[in-house]
Amino acid sequence: MRYVVGFTNNDRGRDALALATSLARTQGASIDLVTVLDRPQDGSVGAGTNRALAALQEAIEGIPGGVEVVPHVKLADSFAEGLLEVAHDLDAGLIVIGASGNGLLRRFTVGSVANAVLHSSPVPVGLAPRGYRHRDKMTRLTCAVGTRAGAEAVLDVAVDSAARRGMPLRLISLVALDVSEQSDSGEAINLAHRHANSVLARAGAQLPEGHETTITVAHGRTIEQAIDDIEWDPGEIVFVGSSRLAKRSQLFLGSTANKMLRALPVPMIVVPRDWNLPAA
């Protein structure tokens, strides 16, 4: 499998590369490291190509051995457009980008590039939090479970990834009590537990016997507070599904995923609605 990584020669680009390196080492994938330059209107090659290639080569030198990395300089009308075109041309299984560096209180603040990719990509998108530097293999995979459209697709991807690499799988259900449709907070939590257990049973049926699988139901006044109440491993990654508003097999970041994104201390992968797993 190939991972397309949007690289800029700054902290955000290094965050994305660190996440892609960790994922590639875990999944046995290769990395296509991509810098996108503005397409010249006169049809020329584009200023800065040599400098961009030099920056890519320097970044590649810091990647641990055993990970295949190919540099690319892409000319496009926008960074997001260039990444999506490269991912399509290479039949990539994942696009990895870094969060905006403007956030002060939270690790994730979605910038314009991330926002454009997250609302149009036909393949899963991984987003690295600000300051992410974990490059070892992932230690645990967490899947946010819900009842809306896209929930089955993200669970299938999470189960498949956990099974292929023998990673512990944790299912989480988040309950925001102040926006729950249930007037009784206790009943809302009980419903979340029942749903999470039913998803756990389904995941267990798809995983090899004895595979480590757990559930966590967290609640708070808001989604952010529920996330803050959960313990996270440094080598953990969270899978979420895209909004029910997304077009078929495309991403659209819904309100719950947006809230999760701004509170998570670990990377997130957003899976398109009705995503079909690659054959390999």
What tens digit of pLDDT does each residue of 118-155 get? 888 889 999 998 889 899 999 999 998 865 545 677 88
- Give domain status of residue 264, yes or no: yes
Query: Do 124 and 152 fall within a single domain?
Result: no
Q: What is the mean pLDDT of the chain?
A: 83
Whole-prediction pTM: 0.85
- Give domain status of residue 135, yes or no: no
Q: End of a domain among 128, 163, 196?
A: 128
Q: Which residue has the higher pLDDT, 188 or 18?
A: 18
Query: Do 161 and 85 fall within a single domain?
Result: no
- Distance separating alpha carbons of residues 34 and 149, to the nearest angstrom: 32
Query: Do 123 and 145 fall within a single domain?
Result: no
Closest CA to 180 of 226, 232, 239, 246: 226
CATH number assigned to the domain comprising residue 209: 3.40.50.620
Give the model's confidence band at 104: pLDDT under 50 very low, under 70 low, under 90 confident, else very high: very low
Structure tokens at 276: 């079909």
Q: Is 276 exposed, middle or buried (0-12, 13-18, 19+ CB in 10 A)?
A: exposed
- Distance separating alpha carbons of residues 268 and 142, to the nearest angstrom: 9
- Give domain status of residue 171, yes or no: yes
Q: Could you list the residue range(s) of the whole structural domain that residue 221 is in?
A: 140-271
Query: Do 111 and 212 fall within a single domain?
Result: no
Query: Do 260 and 147 fall within a single domain?
Result: yes
Q: Is 203 exposed, middle or buried (0-12, 13-18, 19+ CB in 10 A)?
A: buried
Q: End of a domain among 128, 158, 174?
A: 128
What DSSP letter does each residue of 110-150 carry, written as one string?
A: --HHHHHHHTT-SS-EEEEPTT----S---EEEEE--SSTT
Q: Which amino acid is at 17?
A: L
Q: End of a domain among 95, 128, 161?
A: 128
- Distance separating alpha carbons of residues 268 and 270, to the nearest angstrom: 6
Q: Are 110 and 84 in contact (CB under 8 A)?
A: no
Q: Which pLDDT value is given to residue 147?
A: 59
Q: Which pLDDT value is given to residue 175?
A: 79
Share of the chain above pLDDT 70, in %: 81
- Give domain status of residue 278, yes or no: no
Query: Do 181 and 76 fall within a single domain?
Result: no
Query: Do 181 and 236 fall within a single domain?
Result: yes
pLDDT tens digits along 57-85: 999 999 988 899 999 999 999 999 999 99
Query: Do 151 and 255 fall within a single domain?
Result: yes
Query: Do 263 and 147 fall within a single domain?
Result: yes
Q: Which pLDDT value is given to residue 272?
A: 82
Q: How many domains does the chain have?
A: 2
pLDDT tens digits along 214-244: 988 888 888 888 899 899 999 999 998 876 5
Share of the chain above pLDDT 90, in %: 41
Structure tokens at 223: 């989604």
Query: Do 146 and 173 fall within a single domain?
Result: yes
Query: Do 111 and 171 fall within a single domain?
Result: no
Q: Is 276's pLDDT higher than 80?
A: no
Query: Do 188 and 260 fall within a single domain?
Result: yes
Q: Is 255's pLDDT higher than 80?
A: no
Q: Are 99 and 6 in contact (CB under 8 A)?
A: no
Helix (H) or strand (E) holding 268: strand 268-271
Q: Which pLDDT value is given to residue 194?
A: 79
Q: Which pLDDT value is given to residue 44?
A: 63
Q: Is 108's pLDDT higher than 60?
A: no
